[in-house]
Amino acid sequence: MDFTLDDSGHLLLASSSQDSLIRLWRIAPCGEKTATSTRKRIGELDLEEDIQPDEKFFSVIVQDDTAAYFAVSLDSVLAGHEGWVYGIDWHPPIYSEDKKRCTQPMKLLSSSLDKSIIIWEPDASSGVWLESVRVGEIGGNTLGFYGSKFSPDGQSIIGHGYQGSFHLWTYSDELGTWEPGVTVGGHFGEVVDIQWEPGGRFLFSVSTDQTTRIHAPWIRDDHQEETWHELARPQVHGYDISCLAVLSRYRFASGAEEKVIRAFRAPNNFVKNFRQICKVESDKDIENSDAFAVPQGASVPTLGLSNKAVYEGQEVPPEERHVKDEYPEFYFTPLNLKEPPTEENLLQNTLWPEVQKLYGHGYELFALAARHDGTLLASACKATTAEHAAIIIWDTSTWKQMQRLVSHQLTVTQMEFSPDDRFLLSVSRDRRWSLFQLEDSELDRKIYRLIANTEKKTGVHARIIWCCSWTYDSKYFITGSRDGKVAVWGHEGATSETASPLHQYTLSSKPLELPDQSVTAVAVAPVKIAADVYLVAVGLESGCINMYKWSPVSTGTVDNWQRCLELDNSVAHHLAVKKLSFRPLVDTGSDCDKNTLKNLQISSCGADHAVKIFNIYVNKL
């Protein structure tokens, strides 16, 4: 429902319902005699008397205990939608220079689950309310609109869909039409994993809303303005997506609530639009690949889960189609974008082709990690036994299984390769971490071997270990757990061999203890912020993010851990932080770039459906 006052002073109420109709009610003041008198029935009216619409009356007690009487009548019924009408909004009042007062335009905005938004206006001659503008979606698997609003000047309208998307249209005086515009975007489910592409140009995110999304800065032509937008939606799945691993700028793998790992590669159309929107001049990933063998785009077949590649010139002319090709399975249309895509294009025209499926796990995927050179992929699934808790190593050039690393007893919650790719670290629900080292092989095969792990006697975590991270120089790694402890581990370089499963790996300092907190995410900055000082970000189940300066050397007055910044729920997240990731230090060529040695950027995601990017000014810590 929505109320407004017309220029005559009458109160108008617009109501919508699930019967697909909109009703306009007029509430006007009336006298006591009119309100209390008995109305004649139609059969009792004289010939010269007019038939009046049925009215209901009510009174309101005002000042001095006097009663004000009002009449309510049905003014009009608007029929134009074919689905439930969930949103209604009157045009805002406009100040008139001629009349020197605000006037109320008679325009009404309605939104429905039939995927349309309509602007209604009364006809100038008859006064009958008619549909003047209709915008919305055609096709796709969306479920329509839940609401819409006019902008203050009435020149733009914004609608929000069932799946959390925003749609913007702005009236063009030159064209005389309503043109779609750029809006913000994001997930409508819990965001469980994020990762930057190696060059730091854009950010991947996956969510329980069953989508993988790419977020990137839209750099204007003058390089003076930069805003972040959703650039593509490479994967729209049928299962909740749980993990992500980026192999290179244009390749990634994802795992969902299924036993299959799916690998994707960017199509030509995405690469072209990405370089135009983000002002990327040179691109080694494209120069070193066969661009002609890459498809133009991708589409999902009816009742399918896999993104099928669509190549240039693949579509068959209608007159040459076979009967079985009468209804083509792909819906991709190449785009030439100078600005971020609209929701309609994100849904159908930004998918990435699926290049491989990997089978090997017995239960749903839970964690993925990739070497920084993209040659190996590590995967783990939900598990209650050592057999299913094994980590599988895949060769991304042949997509064959290379190894099964057995160490944990329960689900591996996170894995991460060291920056130099010599080590693979894993943490698990069994409250243990395991460290695997790359062995020298004459067969030119990358083989990892278990060299250290913790046990009940050597471990410091009493609850599930949720997260882990390496320092940028590969000297130390960090683990965080539900018991609120953050521990830093390093190799002490002892000369004598020891039988301990830690294999000379020990705590590098006293663990950070956060009472009554659960540590769910941890990340280390890609540079030292001072001599022997690392910047560590810690995400909590409460939604807060804390920044700490950590040094392996402590003095009597200075502790190893010093909290230098706290982002509370009003700034960070209001539900559990799922992942933290510092943006790689790569010059983007943008004058407004904030990601430098003095100004770092960190991204976070949480169970509150949000993906956030923060600027960290190192000289102010």
Q: What is the pLDDT of residues 609-618, one digit of tens each?
A: 999 999 999 8
Of 28-32, 144-148, 374-378, the one with minimum mean pLDDT is 28-32
User: What pLDDT is stored for residue 155 in this prediction?
Assistant: 94
Biggest CA pair distance of the chain: 116
In the predicted structure, residue 51 carries a pLDDT above the cut 90: no
User: What pLDDT is stored for residue 591 in this prediction?
Assistant: 44
Confidence grade of residue 244 (pLDDT, cut at 50, 70, 90): very high
User: What pLDDT is stored for residue 496 in this prediction?
Assistant: 45
User: What pLDDT is stored for residue 292 in this prediction?
Assistant: 47
Contacts for 576 with CB less than 8 Å, ≥ 6 apart: 518, 520, 540, 541, 542, 543, 606, 607
Structure tokens at 326: 């009468």
In the predicted structure, residue 592 carries a pLDDT above the cut 50: no
In the predicted structure, residue 212 carries a pLDDT above the cut 80: yes
Question: Between residues 148 and 458, which one has the greater pLDDT?
Answer: 148
CA distance 186 to 160: 12
User: What pLDDT is stored for residue 494 in this prediction?
Assistant: 46
DSSP assignment letter at 11: E
CA distance 12 to 25: 6
User: What pLDDT is stored for residue 488 in this prediction?
Assistant: 95
Which domains does the chain carry?
A: 2-40+56-181 (2.130.10.10), 191-315+325-620 (2.130.10.10)
User: What pLDDT is stored for residue 485 in this prediction?
Assistant: 96
Structure tokens at 286: 């494209």
Residue 467 burial by CB count (10 A; 0-12/13-18/19+): exposed, middle or buried? buried
Plot region of 466 (φ>0 → left; ψ -120 to 50 → alpha; else → beta): alpha
CA distance 289 to 372: 18
User: What pLDDT is stored for residue 35 in this prediction?
Assistant: 61
Question: Between residues 98 and 186, which one has the greater pLDDT?
Answer: 186
Contact 438, 425 (CB under 8 A): no
Confidence grade of residue 109 (pLDDT, cut at 50, 70, 90): very high
Residue-averaged pLDDT of the chain: 86
How do residues 383-407 score in pLDDT, each as one tens digit? 999 999 999 999 999 999 999 999 9
In the predicted structure, residue 285 carries a pLDDT above the cut 70: no
Question: Between residues 314 and 453, which one has the greater pLDDT?
Answer: 453
CA distance 611 to 527: 23
User: What pLDDT is stored for residue 500 in this prediction?
Assistant: 60
How do residues 480-537 score in pLDDT, each as one tens digit? 999 999 999 998 754 445 456 677 789 999 999 999 999 999 999 999 988 889 999 9
Taking CA 201 as the corner, what is the angle to CA 196 and CA 205, rounded to the nearest 5 degrees? 35
Please compute the mean of the pLDDT values over residues 171-194 and round it to a whole number: 92
Confidence grade of residue 585 (pLDDT, cut at 50, 70, 90): confident
Nearest one of 23, 22, 34, 45 to 71, comparing CA atoms = 34
Predicted structure pTM score? 0.86
Confidence grade of residue 372 (pLDDT, cut at 50, 70, 90): very high
